[in-house]
Amino acid sequence: MAKKKRQRISYVLPLANSPGGHRLGVNGLAFDEDRSILYTGGRDGVVCAWDIDLDAQNAPSYTDKEPTHTFRRQVQAHTHWVNDIVLVKNSLGLVSASSDVTVKLWRPHGHETTHAYTIGSHSDYVKCLATPSATSNWVASGGLDHKINLWDLAGGGNTLQIDIGKAENVVKGSIYTLRAKGSLLASGGPESVARLWDVRSGRSITKLVGHTDNIRDILISDDEDTILTASSDQTIKVWSVTAGRCIHTLTMHNDSVWSLYSSDPNLAVFYSGDKSGLVAKTDTRRAMEIDDGVSVAVCQEHDGISRVLPVGNSVWTATSSSSVNRWLNVDTELEIETPPSSPHDERAKSPEGRSSLHPDDAVNPPVVNGTTNGAVNGLPTNGLDSKKRIPYSAVLRVSNTAVHPGRRYLGRHPTSSSSNLRKASEVINADDLSVVVPIRGQPVETIEGQNGLIKHVMLNDKKRILTLDTAGEVVLWDLLKCIQIKSFGRRHLDEVVPEVNNSESVANWCAVDTKTGKITVMLEENYAFDAEVYADELDLNDKLSFRDDQRINLGKWVLRNLFSNLLDEEIRRDEEYRTNLQITPPPPASGLIRPGAPTSITLPGSVGATPMVSPGTMTTPRAPNGPGLVPPTPGLAIGAATPGFSPLTTTLTSTAEESADAVDGNSRPTQPTPTTATITDPSSDYFSRNSSAHNQSEDSSDSNKIPDTPGGGDNSQHALATPTSPTEERKKGIFGKKFSGMAFPKKLARTSTEVAKTPMITQEEKSDTASVKSSEKEERVIEDNFYGVVQRIRQEYEDHLEHKPGEALPPGITPSLPNETPVLTPPPHTTIIIQEDNPESGGLADQYRGEIGELGEKSEVDILEKIAPTWLGELLLRNQIPYKDTIKVSFILQPWENLLPSIASPDGNARLNANRMLRAKKIMAYIAERIEAPADPEHPNPDGTDALKPEEYLELYCQGRKVDPNITLASLRVHLWRTGGDVVLYYKTNGRKELRVPHPSEVPTRDESEEATGVVR
């Protein structure tokens, strides 16, 4: 039987409402030319769409104070960074690659625009995407797992996989960039080698060796013969596929080159951005050799250029900032400004003249043929011509062997080249040391981003968290209520932590990260229910009555309120089902009526190897549902421990809550259940008009029937197993007992040989009966998901009507009461994410994403029943959490300076252990029982000291410090004891009450002490 995959439930705290935009850096840009839509993919996992008004940008009256972008929509596509985006299917879809190891498709113009569908995954971060054309049916993805995958956009899944590590025996085989053209696919990465592949066969064509560092971007010409590669070695290389070698090395950048872009079929004009934030435009259209081309510094960003994208007469840049800038483009066909005769003359210019040189006035596309009254940028043109020119200070040297364009005496005639006239002394000259001044000093427009969270600190109470955002603001959050508590302004995070932290020690019940700019709280079955807090320490608005020292489970509390809408809908469905069931009883279990069939069949005694157990003999453990009942808190016993390293195993007897936990401990079935994946049908088309409606109708219809579980035929082996202990028998529940004796197929095979002499009609009747019961067994296969809990509840109803037809059906859903899980009201826009362990990708794959305000809708409930884990259903519908052994702390009690009697056993053992959540005042009560005689109700003390509680006249000390009565053993060990070994506590009286040593017969017994104080010797 396949093991159920691990599942995780996460919720994302909503930040302040905003019109849209990214909260962290932007890694991807794409533009839909037909609809004038700019798409951005950010490190917050969000893909945004923006309407761009190109006509307004080109209007003569346009000013940079008027924004030309409008927020269109966005989708939270991923749970980690979006590393690349690409438009597919004539811009009807957008594919994104993420560090959450998935490749997803978003249809911004389809019926469903709020979700992105998973089309594939890697086993490590997915770094890049490529598609050969706008109409192609496939997209390629490359990741840090050394693999290139081709995904069919028509729903065919993975059509080709190239494992570079195996195919080429490469150690540094991570893929950082991909580019596709026709059937040619180029890849690059930290191997410093560009590899070419044939996508039809997956075979390697050739490799281009020459770079000395990571290859970050690649361009391919339309004829598939010229390739440009950008590298972290600060160079851009031009390769000839036919020659199989590098034909030019361009060195216009002085830092790692991260991004390339070109829309020119021959790559004669291309843009490049580097780590320092410089964007360069290189034009070789009028040059005989690439060295003779013109490279101009267009703009300078504050951060490295992740993507550069020219649109119209503008250039958009994406960086590690959450904002995206638009810069005016540069016309590289203009003449270059005449350089000064020498660097000395350039330095000799007056400061007034240099300050009047405004880069943005030099070139302003579209090109306008006019005069500047004999001046450019306010400086004389020496009478050469009156056209606008490219500033000399913005021109970059294309390569180390190229002459600076401004010093070429022959100008830029296409039929001549200055390379033949270059002297050795011209390779390096003093002008190369001048500072490059980009033509555009400021962006003309900015798509403003928002402030995202970049750092966090979990406080000791495990209920609050401090965060730091990109603006430097420190904020305190409540993880239970999902709201902001307080803002501390712009301060250092480490300075605020001591101000708000406390000395509590609470077990970890969740994991928290801020990698998408928001607080994401993650819960898993193995630790979600480990943390408890005392109810009297919580700030609750409702006037609820709690038992003394009642504890509340944090994970249980949060999940109960996050899924309250789901629970309400399940209760409504349950009431409707019970009503219909009582009106129309279920059909007989046999379900098969044959003419002339006997009313009963006596089976041979050998068949009953495993006795049948009458269903309904055990009641399903339920949570208390009376208004005044409060469930007891388990595990507050103190057990005696032997001296040294071998403590006694004495423990507190199981309480009602522990018994309920034990029922759920290992009773969940492990049958694999088909999950409702986002896109798994190979025949589905991501771009079909009716695909969304079709999938929705399928989900709706599937919710009304019990789906077959794969592998159900193997259950006979498990059905033969008999519980080996009463505890396991109790864990199996009612239907576990019933199925334990229903493994008919294997037993019938053995029985048919033993009763061969029986009449033929008996064999036929017996075979029919076995077939019917086997069919009944198959119908009662329980799914290993949320719906499986619903199935068990409904089967209990049917058994109840079968064996107790005259009695009313009791409700099978027994949710927790408000005094167990007080009502919280998290914001309705809090996002819920359910993920499942994906062994193929080595991580977790998203299965569901929605907001808590939507969880009560019928369609959402149908999906959640199939996807949500069983343990969530047990918690919400049964009020049961997985059983887990109690963590205990060992300690030693000694009288302070022997002023009080010792409580050690006759053999001198004073070593005890107790639940880590036991409060110090319970230890004081334990001490008081043994050193003080009980009060005489007939002769009370006249001073009224009999009414004092033990914590009012006794004191505990640890490491010389007085212990607070409400501190727990866990907090005491962490914050006061602060070392290994057993905690040593000293007790003394404060003098408020005169103690009378009890007679040995007055000392409570072990059971009496356990009942009164929770302390066990």
888, pLDDT greater than 50? yes
Most confident of 259-273, 346-360, 584-598, 712-726: 259-273
Residue 524: predicted pLDDT: 94
Q: What is the mean pLDDT of residues 466-495?
A: 95
- Which of 256-260, 278-282, 666-670 has the lowest average pLDDT? 666-670
Residue 414: predicted pLDDT: 39
750, pLDDT greater than 60? no
pLDDT band at residue 503 using 50, 70 and 90 as cut-offs: confident
609, pLDDT greater than 50? no
Residue 515: predicted pLDDT: 92
The whole-angstrom separation of Cα 512 and Cα 521 is 5
597, pLDDT greater than 60? no
For the chain, give the percent of residues with pLDDT over 70: 69
Residue 845: predicted pLDDT: 81
Burial 111-143 (b: 16+ CB within 10 A, else e): eebebbbbbbbbbbbbbbbbbbeeeeebbbbbb
Higher pLDDT, 583 or 262: 262
Tokens encoding 29: 């840009």
Residue 63: predicted pLDDT: 72
Residue 873's alpha-carbon distances to 219, 556, 784, in angstroms, are 52, 12, 10
Higher pLDDT, 716 or 295: 295
For residue 645, with 0-12 CB atoms within 10 Å meaning exposed, 13-18 middle and 19 or more buried, which class applies? exposed
Mapping DSSP to helix (H, G, I), strand (E, B) and coil, where does residue 33 land? Answer: coil
Task: Report the Cα 870 to chain-centroid distance in Å.
Answer: 20
Cβ atoms of 730 and 663 within 8 Å: the answer is yes
885, pLDDT greater than 60? yes
1002, pLDDT greater than 60? no
The whole-angstrom separation of Cα 812 and Cα 565 is 18
Nearest to 143 by CA among 122, 168, 164: 122
pLDDT in tens, 10-60: 999 998 766 789 999 999 999 999 999 999 999 999 999 999 999 888 887
Q: What is the mean pLDDT of residues 118-137?
A: 93
Nearest to 72 by CA among 19, 22, 8: 19
pLDDT in tens, 505-547: 999 999 999 999 999 999 999 999 999 999 988 887 667 888 8
pLDDT in tens, 369-403: 333 333 433 333 333 344 688 998 999 999 887 77
pLDDT in tens, 751-810: 333 333 334 434 444 444 445 444 554 557 889 999 999 999 999 999 998 888 888 889
Higher pLDDT, 637 or 654: 637
The tally of CA atoms less than 13 A away on the side-chain side of residue 143 is 24
Higher pLDDT, 446 or 546: 446
741, pLDDT greater than 60? no
Residue 352's alpha-carbon distances to 312, 356, 360, 379, 382, in angstroms, are 35, 6, 17, 11, 19
Q: Dihedral (C-alpha) 607, 611, 617, 619: value to the nearest 10 degrees? A: -100
pLDDT band at residue 475 using 50, 70 and 90 as cut-offs: very high
Most confident of 64-73, 477-486, 599-608, 620-629: 477-486
H/E run at residue 194: strand 193-198
Nearest to 337 by CA among 370, 363, 313: 363
Residue 388: predicted pLDDT: 82
β-strand partners of 126: 143
Q: What is the mean pLDDT of the chain?
A: 77
Q: What is the mean pLDDT of residues 582-600?
A: 57
706, pLDDT greater than 70? no
The whole-angstrom separation of Cα 104 and Cα 86 is 11
Residue 806: predicted pLDDT: 81
- Which of 2-16, 367-381, 908-922 has the lowest average pLDDT? 367-381
595, pLDDT greater than 60? no
Higher pLDDT, 61 or 424: 61
